[in-house]
Amino acid sequence: MRVLGIETSCDDTGIALYDSEDGLLAHRLFSQTELHLDYGGVVPELASRDHIRKALPLIRRVMQEANTTPEQIHGIAYTSGPGLAGALLVGAALGRSLAYAWNVPAVGVHHMEGHLLSPMLEPDPPAFPFTALLVSGGHTLLADVQALGQYTILGESMDDAVGEAFDKTAKLLGLGYPGGPAIAKAAVSGNPKQFRFPRPMTQRRKTQGEHPGLDFSFSGLKTAVVTAIRNQSLTSQFIANVAASFEEAAVDVLAIKCEWALERTGAKQLVVAGGVSANLKLRARLKQLSEKIRVRVYFPRLEFATDNGAMIAYAGYLRLAKGQHEPLSFGARARWRIEDIDTATA
């Protein structure tokens, strides 16, 4: 089965062709970073309009590269949520229209399910069941994953997502958008021990050794950065030290919670995905942890950690293969919990 994947949930237009026999055939991404740069963040209406401009030419290109004609495509997968409503509707309208024109089924894919399954595009992929850490600009969650669609959230952020904390901290430091890669780059020449930023919700109680659970909170970490930089001159060494200390704190929190989650589930595989999983410090720390507790850890390749069409094509293939597809009407969901994929329709 050959599936065309369309990702337009935020500021990247991602297109890919996945084939159940031959794997990923071709994939292309157009990043809108430059378009939003002057605004310090994504402007939803500009994002939607640019998806309209870029999606079809990218689809043509990917089909050409994969030497694929419309007759060879068996289904279409598009991101139907969560994300920016207008941006999602572009992908949904295009996906449904092509499916109608080519007379093939179309399926709306949950963006975070796409991330969750992205490590399965790699050689030697993880197999269900496993424990997952999903870290992106909008989500930070730990989940017990039993099978496709069988997800139980073990913990999630009560305020900012970890990617959002990277983005906000980068803004405070004048490092621009998107913040994650900018912080990681600045941190390379910084001292991670220069500032002792808080690791919220990670202190075990002294008496029984009980831990405070698997939820996250990142807004306090950002506030600590605000306090640390107040009345300071932002020299490049100072910025590097704050970036490195912030990154260290964020990575510590994620690693501690992963360890506790694995203690709880007893899983022998940890899957880590979403934009922040591109962070090399996080990857190194989780590899260390996995060796210490004898659990295997899986990541997507770096380019598939952040938003892309390949993960949507793949998740869509799995759903289409189960016989799932959408009626002719379609919608998009700006908000959508990953636990609710199989219990409600858009």
The closest of 7, 317, 267, 266 to 136, measured between CA atoms, is 7
Q: What minimum distance in Å lies between the beta carbon of 33 and ligand KG4? A: 11
Q: d(Cα 263, Cα 255) in Å, to the nearest integer?
A: 12
- Going 169 to 172 to 173 to 176, the CA torsion angle's sign is positive
3-class DSSP assignment, residue 162: helix
Concatenated DSSP letters of 217-240: --HHHHHHHHHHHTT----HHHHH
CB nearer to Zn ion: pick between 66 and 273: 273
CB nearer to ligand KG4: pick between 136 and 245: 136
Q: What minimum distance in Å lies between the beta carbon of 113 and ligand KG4? A: 12
316 binds, among ligand KG4, Zn ion, none (CB under 5 to 8 A by kind): none
CB nearer to ligand KG4: pick between 167 and 259: 167
If binding is defined by CB under 6 A, does position 163 make contact with ligand KG4? yes
DSSP structure class, residue 169? H
CB nearer to ligand KG4: pick between 75 and 300: 300
If binding is defined by CB under 6 A, does position 169 make contact with ligand KG4? no
163 binds, among Zn ion, ligand KG4, none (CB under 5 to 8 A by kind): ligand KG4
If binding is defined by CB under 6 A, does position 10 make contact with ligand KG4? yes
Q: d(Cα 48, Cα 58) in Å, to the nearest integer?
A: 15
If binding is defined by CB under 6 A, does position 190 make contact with ligand KG4? no
Binding site for Zn ion (CB under 5 A): 136, 307
To 10 degrees, the CA torsion angle through 55, 56, 59, 61?
A: -110
If binding is defined by CB under 6 A, does position 75 make contact with ligand KG4? no
If binding is defined by CB under 6 A, does position 105 make contact with ligand KG4? no
DSSP structure class, residue 136? -
**Contact between 54 and 13 (Cβ < 8 Å):** yes
To 10 degrees, the CA torsion angle through 233, 239, 244, 247?
A: 100
CB nearer to ligand KG4: pick between 86 and 138: 138
Q: Which of 108, 192, 306, 315 forms a contact with ligand KG4 (CB under 6 A)?
A: 306
The closest of 278, 292, 167, 155 to 214, measured between CA atoms, is 155
Q: d(Cα 159, Cα 246) in Å, to the nearest integer?
A: 17
Which range binds ligand KG4 by CB under 6 A, 28-36, 67-75, 132-140, 222-230? Answer: 132-140
If binding is defined by CB under 6 A, does position 180 make contact with ligand KG4? yes
If binding is defined by CB under 6 A, does position 300 make contact with ligand KG4? no
The closest of 320, 261, 271, 264 to 299, measured between CA atoms, is 271
Query: What would you measure as the largest C-alpha separation in the chain, in angstroms?
Result: 66
Output the six-digit token pair for 230: 């107040």
CB nearer to Zn ion: pick between 160 and 307: 307
If binding is defined by CB under 6 A, does position 278 make contact with ligand KG4? yes
CB nearer to ligand KG4: pick between 181 and 192: 181
Q: Which residues bind ligand KG4 (CB under 6 A)?
A: 10, 136-138, 163, 166-167, 178-181, 184, 274-276, 278-279, 306-307
